[in-house]
């Protein structure tokens, strides 16, 4: 089932542009952007018009396909060189979600393996690989949702942070997947959605998706999670992830690690949900994960007519934080539910 009227990422009819829903405009307006040029694509990721780790991966796959159309006149080596430059540029747009570099390198590996092919064939292969990445994402999200749902009970109160739904992937989502799948099967959950300062993905996108699917959703400010937990409203916390280190440390939207500390204090299960492609075996721990720093204006002026704070105050705006593996009850992937010790369960699933 589709919970959104439109896919957040797809190709246009003639297959010469990537079409996205501009997520910065939701929920007020549904605006589509048709992107053909490298810098437009870079900006779409950078400004969060397209966002959410798996969705960025699918988008990157399609971008490489569309950009290859400009290189069909090149020779074999020139084609590969130009596509590597495109990939390098896109990879600079956001550093934390591993799915971006994962999809870009997958596309580069594809064309590098075609030693005897010309640009036309390599370009065609990039389109086919992009479709495969997209279809895999849909399948992975469904498996994650099934696995997550097996841990929940009808009537549960659930807390989520940021947006890890169909907008952040390509169907169902990861963190919201079990909720949406459960709704389809007659479960009634009570979902608390953190607003998620500073960009309000929870208030704008999660509330929009859940309300559209008919799920009972309550938006809270980020600093209200503790009272909700202490009042017994929350049975489990479900969040997505942008990169998982091989020891189970997990990067996700800023504020996630604080929720994990609170959940441990209250004895509430804390579940991280994501596809196997979010696990980065090159990172031994969360210390190896690069945290994106964003424009201070997202805090100071973006949502206000005039700045609220005094002139001269400084701002610190890390977009993600790392949740220590000790605070995580389980990592729910498409390949199964991983439990501590994560070093072992991750190694097993990745081999």
Which of 7, 137, 156, 242 is flagged as catalytic?
242
Tokens of 27: 């929920």
- Closest CB to ligand MRU among residues 26, 125: 26
C-alpha separations of 37 from 43, 127, 180 in Å: 10, 16, 35
- Closest CB to ligand MRU among residues 162, 179: 162
In the residue annotation, 242 being an active-site residue is answered as yes
Residue 296 DSSP symbol? T
* 40/324 Cα distance (integer angstroms): 36
Smallest gap from residue 162 Cβ to ligand MRU (A) = 4
- Closest CB to ligand MRU among residues 127, 172: 172
Tokens of 181: 């799948």
Smallest gap from residue 74 Cβ to ligand MRU (A) = 33
Place of tokens 């992009």: 130
DSSP of 4-46:
SSS-SEEE-TTSSSEEEE-TTSTTT---EEEE-SHHHHHHHHH
Smallest gap from residue 137 Cβ to ligand MRU (A) = 10
Evaluate whether 73 touches 119 at the Cβ level (below 8 Å). Answer: yes
Smallest gap from residue 278 Cβ to ligand MRU (A) = 8
- Closest CB to ligand MRU among residues 193, 252: 252
The site for ligand MRU (CB under 6 A) is made up of 48, 51-54, 97, 162, 164, 168-169, 173-174, 201, 240-242, 252-253, 319
- For ligand MRU, the nearest residue by Cβ is 240
Query: Residue 252: which of 218, 288, 292 has the closest Cα?
Result: 292
Smallest gap from residue 209 Cβ to ligand MRU (A) = 12
DSSP of 222-274:
GGGHHHHHHTT--SEEEE--SEEETTS-EEEETTHHHHHHHHHHHT--EEEE-
Q: Is the torsion defined by CA of 320, 177, 337, 105 positive or negative?
A: negative
| Active site (catalytic) residues | 242
């Amino acid at each position: 089932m589709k919970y959104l009227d439109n896919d957040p990422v797809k190709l246009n009819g003639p297959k010469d542009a990537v079409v996205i829903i501009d997520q910065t405009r939701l929920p007020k307006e549904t605006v589509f952007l048709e992107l053909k040029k490298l810098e437009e694509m870079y900006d779409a990721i950078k400004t969060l018009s397209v966002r959410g780790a798996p969705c960025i991966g699918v988008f990157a796959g399609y971008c490489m396909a569309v950009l290859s159309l400009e290189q069909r006149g090149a020779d074999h080596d020139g084609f590969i060189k130009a596509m590597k430059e495109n990939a390098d540029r896109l990879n600079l747009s956001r550093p934390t979600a591993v799915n971006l570099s994962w999809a870009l390198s997958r596309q580069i590996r594809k064309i590098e393996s075609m030693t005897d092919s010309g640009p036309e064939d390599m370009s065609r292969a990039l389109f086919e690989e992009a479709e495969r990445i997209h279809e895999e994402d849909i399948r992975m999200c469904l498996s994650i949702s099934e696995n997550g749902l097996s841990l929940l009970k009808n009537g549960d109160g659930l807390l989520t942070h940021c947006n890890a739904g169909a907008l952040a992937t390509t169907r169902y989502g990861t963190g919201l997947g079990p909720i949406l799948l459960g709704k389809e099967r007659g479960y009634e959950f009570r979902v608390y959605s953190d607003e998620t300062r500073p960009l309000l993905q929870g208030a704008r996108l999660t509330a929009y998706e859940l309300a559209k699917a008919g799920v009972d959703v309550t938006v809270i400010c980020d600093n209200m999670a503790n009272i909700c937990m202490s009042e017994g409203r929350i049975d489990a916390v479900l969040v997505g992830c942008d990169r998982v280190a091989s020891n189970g440390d997990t990067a996700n939207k800023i504020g996630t690690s604080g929720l994990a500390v609170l959940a441990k204090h209250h004895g509430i299960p804390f579940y991280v949900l994501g596809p196997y492609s979010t696990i980065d075996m090159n990172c031994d721990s969360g210390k190896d994960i690069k945290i994106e720093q964003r424009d201070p204006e997202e805090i100071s002026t973006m949502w206000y007519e005039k700045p609220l704070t005094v002139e001269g105050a400084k701002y610190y705006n890390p977009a993600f934080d790392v949740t220590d593996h000790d605070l995580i009850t389980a990592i729910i992937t498409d390949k199964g539910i991983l439990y501590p010790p994560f070093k072992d369960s991750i190694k097993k699933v990745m081999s």
